């Protein structure tokens, strides 16, 4: 699942400036859904049904504006795009399965860790990027013999094999920041299907 942002003007719509029921065709190549679908005209968010309707398609989703839209108005569409059934390759099953069903868009901050001659560690943040990811709380139950022990990790993360994720990177989702502690691969018949990362909660954003 990937997040898309498209920018248009009213001149990109069908019909003439100021007409009712003008339509806009998006450039999506995967199925869109209403979850996370937002449309803005001149900076104002529109309400579904009363101000716009949408036909969610696997390609070229169509937005219809109920009221008048003028050619000089700016239009922004934000939406999630699920890759179509023709996705193949190493991560095809993961992309069309868990990622399509449970994936969210989170922010990955690459982090470089260095150690000086005294053993002090320094963490330097890189440039943020959005990634599609499946997050799952990690809860460990212990026997009575192990009462008092804490769980090992706060969250498990699953990403496709093409997503770069390294130890010490930060993952931000729902205003909470986690740090990557370890990463392992999941292979089938010698082909990497997805990666698993174990995360520690760091702080609220």
Is the pLDDT at 16 greater than 50, yes or no? yes
Same domain, residue pair 164 and 97: yes
The average pLDDT across 120-142 equals: 84
Torsion angle, CA of 40/20/47/72, rounded to 10 degrees? 10
Distances from the Cα of 32 to the Cαs of 1, 43, 47, 89, 169, in angstroms?
10, 22, 17, 22, 29
Could you tell me if 177 and 170 are in contact, meaning their C-beta atoms sit under 8 angstroms apart? Answer: yes
CA pair distance 139, 164, nearest whole angstrom: 25
Mean pLDDT, all residues of the chain = 85
Same domain, residue pair 200 and 112: yes
| Band of residue 116 on the pLDDT scale cut at 50, 70, 90 | confident
Same domain, residue pair 144 and 191: yes
How much is the pLDDT for 65?
Answer: 97
How much is the pLDDT for 32?
Answer: 82
Is the pLDDT at 188 greater than 90, yes or no? no
- How many domains, the chain? 2
How much is the pLDDT for 5?
Answer: 92
The average pLDDT across 15-23 equals: 96
Same domain, residue pair 75 and 96: no
Could you tell me if 156 and 197 are in contact, meaning their C-beta atoms sit under 8 angstroms apart? Answer: yes
Same domain, residue pair 59 and 148: no
Could you tell me if 111 and 126 are in contact, meaning their C-beta atoms sit under 8 angstroms apart? Answer: yes
| Residue whose C-alpha is closest to residue 111's, from 160, 196, 157, 177 | 177
Greater confidence, 145 or 67?
Answer: 67
| Residue whose C-alpha is closest to residue 31's, from 90, 96, 91, 75 | 96
Distances from the Cα of 58 to the Cαs of 1, 6, 27, in angstroms?
13, 16, 10
Domain of residue 34: give its range: 2-82
Q: What's 165's domain CATH number? A: 2.40.10
Any bridge partners for residue 25, and if so which? Answer: 62
Of 10-24, 37-51, 143-157, 175-189, where does mean pLDDT reach its minimum?
Answer: 143-157
Model pLDDT for residues 192-204, shown as the tens digit of each residue: 888 999 999 988 7
């Amino acid at each position: 699942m990937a997040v898309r942002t498209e920018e248009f003007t009213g001149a990109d719509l069908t019909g003439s400036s100021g007409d009712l029921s003008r339509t806009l065709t998006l450039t999506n190549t995967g199925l869109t859904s209403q979850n996370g679908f937002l449309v803005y005209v001149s900076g104002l968010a529109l309400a579904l049904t009363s101000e716009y309707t949408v036909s969610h398609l696997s390609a070229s989703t169509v937005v219809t504006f109920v009221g008048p839209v003028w050619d000089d108005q700016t239009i922004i569409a934000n939406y999630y795009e699920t890759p179509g059934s023709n996705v193949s390759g190493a991560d095809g099953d993961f992309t069309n399965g868990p990622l399509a069903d449970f994936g969210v868009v989170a922010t990955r901050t690459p982090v470089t860790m260095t150690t000086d001659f005294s053993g002090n560690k320094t963490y330097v943040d890189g440039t943020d990027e959005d990634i599609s990811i499946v997050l799952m709380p990690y809860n460990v139950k212990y026997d009575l013999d192990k009462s008092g022990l804490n769980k090992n990790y706060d969250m498990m993360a699953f990403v496709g094999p093409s997503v770069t994720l390294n130890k010490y990177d930060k993952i931000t989702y729902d205003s909470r920041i986690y740090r990557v502690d370890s990463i392992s691969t999941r292979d089938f018949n010698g082909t990497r299907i997805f990666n698993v990362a174990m995360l520690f909660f760091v702080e609220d954003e």
